[in-house]
Amino acid sequence: MSNTSLPDQPLDAIIVGAGLSGMYQLHTLRDQLGLRVKVLEAADGVGGTWYHNRYPGARCDSESHSYMFYFSQELVQSWEWSERYPQQPEILRYMNHVADFLQLRPDLVFNTRVVAAEFDEPHNLWRITTASGQVWQAKYLITAVGCLSSANVPAIKGLDSFQGQWVHTSAWPHEGVDMRGKRVGVVGTGSTGIQAIPVIAEQAAHLTVFQRTANYSIPARNAPLSEDFKRHVKENAEEIRALMQETPNAHCFRIEPRSALEVTDEERQAIYQAAWDKGGLQFRATFNDLLRDKEANDTAARFIKHKIQQVVHDPQIAALLSDIDHPFAAKRPPIDSHYFETFNRDNVQLVDIRSHPIECIDADGIQTTQAHYPLDTIVFATGFDAMTGSLLRMNISGRGGLALKDAWHAGPRTYLGLQVPGFPNMFTITGPGSPSVLCNLPPQIEQHVNWITDCIAYLQTHGIRQMEADTAASDDWVQQVNEAAHATLLPQVRHSWYLGANVPGKPRVFMPYAGGFARYRGICDDVAAQGYRGFHLIA
Buried b / exposed e over 465-478, threshold 16 CB at 10 Å, is ebbbbbeebbeebb
Q: Are 407 and 401 in contact (CB under 8 A)?
A: no
CB atoms under 10 Å from CB of 77, counted, come to 12
Smallest distance from the beta carbon of 454 to ligand NAP, in angstroms? 28
Q: Are 239 and 510 in contact (CB under 8 A)?
A: no
Smallest distance from the beta carbon of 495 to ligand NAP, in angstroms? 3
Question: Which residue number, 286 or 502, has a Cβ lying nearer to ligand NAP?
Answer: 502
Question: Which residue number, 128 or 156, has a Cβ lying nearer to ligand NAP?
Answer: 156
Q: Distance between CA 437 and CA 499 in Å, rounded? A: 12
Question: Which residue number, 254 or 356, has a Cβ lying nearer to ligand NAP?
Answer: 356
Residue 328 Cα to chain centre, angstroms: 19
126, β-bridge pairs: 119, 138
Smallest distance from the beta carbon of 17 to ligand NAP, in angstroms? 17
Output DSSP code: residue 432: B
Smallest distance from the beta carbon of 382 to ligand NAP, in angstroms? 4
Q: What share of the chain is helix, strand, coil (3-state, %, to 5)?
A: 35, 20, 45
| Angle, CA 116 vertex, CA 112 and CA 119 arms, to 5° | 125
Question: Which residue number, 357 or 522, has a Cβ lying nearer to ligand NAP?
Answer: 357
Q: Distance between CA 170 and CA 50 in Å, rounded? A: 9
Q: Distance between CA 298 and CA 330 in Å, rounded? A: 12
Smallest distance from the beta carbon of 396 to ligand NAP, in angstroms? 24
Backbone angles phi, psi at 353, to 5 degrees: -95, 5
| Angle, CA 120 vertex, CA 115 and CA 121 arms, to 5° | 145
Question: Which residue number, 102 or 148, has a Cβ lying nearer to ligand NAP?
Answer: 148
Q: Distance between CA 482 and CA 110 in Å, rounded? A: 37
Question: Which residue number, 188 or 398, has a Cβ lying nearer to ligand NAP?
Answer: 188
Smallest distance from the beta carbon of 155 to ligand NAP, in angstroms? 8
Residues of the shown chain interacting with ligand NAP in the complex, contacts defined by CB under 6 A: 59-61, 148, 154, 187-193, 195, 212-213, 332, 353, 381-384, 437, 495, 497, 502
Question: Which residue number, 149 or 247, has a Cβ lying nearer to ligand NAP?
Answer: 149
Smallest distance from the beta carbon of 340 to ligand NAP, in angstroms? 15
Smallest distance from the beta carbon of 506 to ligand NAP, in angstroms? 12
294-311 vs 265-278: helix crossing angle, rounded to 10: 60
Smallest distance from the beta carbon of 238 to ligand NAP, in angstroms? 25
Smallest distance from the beta carbon of 93 to ligand NAP, in angstroms? 16
Smallest distance from the beta carbon of 216 to ligand NAP, in angstroms? 12
Q: What is the 3-state secondary structure (H, E, C) of 392-425?
A: HHCCEECHHHCEHHHHCCCCCCCECCCECCCCCC
Residue whose beta carbon is closest to ligand NAP: 190
| CA dihedral over 268, 272, 278, 282, signed as positive or negative | positive
CB atoms under 10 Å from CB of 266, counted, come to 8
Of 379, 306, 310, give the one whose Cα is nearest residue 344.
310
Question: Which residue number, 28 or 215, has a Cβ lying nearer to ligand NAP?
Answer: 215
